[in-house]
Structure 1
């Protein structure tokens, strides 16, 4: 069994070998977008790191299917600043880029700002320990992203079309030899919003996201990330999936995905 979603290449620190744990449900030869999005988070956080700064938003453009091949990661600060800076990152195969991301990194307040408590984000969802054991993931692949995560539905299910509340936890590191950061965990989980809240039959329709935007007003605590997800389809074939993000302490932020909808 593989020890992580990606294995670092000892000969090239920019190169990562994709394992079978990255495989998605659509094709045995293509990755789920969660692991490569999390890999982008991995390299973004290691791009000229600055103490007292934190990533607040990551926007990922999915340029096409991501094959199960080694990926080369590049990241650079394209807009430096004293309080806010913009980082650009790409993942490429030998044939060219497959994912591209922009991330805003913010300077944290020190000391904390004094804000009215009634305006701070609040609320909760039933925790992962309060939810039933999960049903079987709808995939014919014996190994893939679905076997590299643990998921628990607090509301809805894969077999029940419509909105859902689902907790997701990584079973393995994104990169072997490292501990997944809160950002990596959130990016890996957030790409499942359109899957857990699907409104169309998996066997008859495609509902593939072309992008993933995650905005965090707080870093998640613990290993579990919760998606309170809903999909908005349209007859003309464009849809939107959006998720309110939570951990066991409360709200974290939001994620959105633009969807291509079509018959198989």
Structure 2
């Protein structure tokens, strides 16, 4: 086991070596989508960074299974602007692109706007310290993303079908030698919305997300990110997983995933 999800290639700053911690729960050769989504966030934040700007939305498209192989990230500013700009990123293996992402980066108000407190998002969920120690994650893999994170269920569990409230924390950095940013932590956690709130039998059905969209009205504070998640399956084979995102101070934004549903 490595001490990070990815190791930077010393000869190419765009290239990253995938470690066993990125492995998904079902295949020994494919990654969970959380780590590569966070890797895209890592690269997006380093694409022509501008002081006083912050990413407000990231939309990740999952083009296929992400192999447990070296990955290359390409980024560019697709639409520059004084107040808002669009950044595009592509994650590729030797076989070609496996993920793409579009991110909107916004200029923060300076000074901060004098908004009425009554219209600002409020509320919280019981913190991770109020959640019991979880049962082992139901995976056939000894090492993977499930061993690279810590999760605490306030309500629900992987064994109980239905909506759930789950706190997630990274045990390792996304990229070795760096500290995970708030955006990286959020993207890594948000991709678990359909897993923590699964309503279908894991042994009978597939419910694979083809995308992940995270919209943040503020950056999370601290190491824990909370998903108040629910899954909406439909008999025609398309579903939706939606997560309200929190930290210990209150709401942060939303995460959504479109699901392909079918028999296993």
Q: Under TM normalisation by the shorter chain, which class is it?
A: over 0.9
Partner SS, residue 73 of structure 1: strand
1: distance between equivalents of 2:90 and 2:6? 16
1:24-59 C-alpha deviation (Å, 9 max, x unpaired): 012111000000000000000000000000000000
2:248 aligned partner: 248
1:158 aligned partner: 158
1:31 aligned partner: 31
What's the CA shift for 1:261?
Answer: 0.4
1:257 aligned partner: 257
2: distance between equivalents of 1:170 and 1:3? 11
2:187 aligned partner: 187
Partner SS, residue 162 of structure 1: coil
For the aligned residues, what is the CA RMSD?
0.4
Partner SS, residue 98 of structure 1: strand
1:102-137 C-alpha deviation (Å, 9 max, x unpaired): 000000001110111111000000000010001110
Aligned positions of 1:132-171 closer than 5 A: 132-171=132-171
Partner SS, residue 55 of structure 1: strand
Q: TM-score, normalised by structure 2?
A: 0.99
Aligned positions of 1:28-177 closer than 5 A: 28-177=28-177
Q: TM-score, normalised by structure 1?
A: 0.99
Partner SS, residue 213 of structure 2: strand
What's the CA shift for 1:258?
Answer: 0.1
2: distance between equivalents of 1:122 and 1:233? 29
How many residue pairs align between the two structures?
264
Query: Which structure 1 residue ranges, 4+ long, deviate > 2 Å from structure 2?
Result: none
Residues 26, 140 of structure 2: 8 Å contact kept: no
What's the CA shift for 1:185?
Answer: 0.1
Partner SS, residue 61 of structure 1: strand
1:206 aligned partner: 206
2: distance between equivalents of 1:124 and 1:140? 34
Unaligned runs of 5+ in 2: none
What's the CA shift for 1:176?
Answer: 0.2
2:7 aligned partner: 7
1: distance between equivalents of 2:224 and 2:76? 29
2: distance between equivalents of 1:85 and 1:125? 33
Partner SS, residue 104 of structure 1: strand
Residues 9, 17 of structure 2: 8 Å contact kept: yes
Partner SS, residue 157 of structure 1: coil
Partner SS, residue 243 of structure 1: strand
2:20 aligned partner: 20
2: distance between equivalents of 1:217 and 1:179? 22
1: distance between equivalents of 2:60 and 2:126? 29
Unaligned runs of 5+ in 1: none
1: distance between equivalents of 2:27 and 2:252? 32
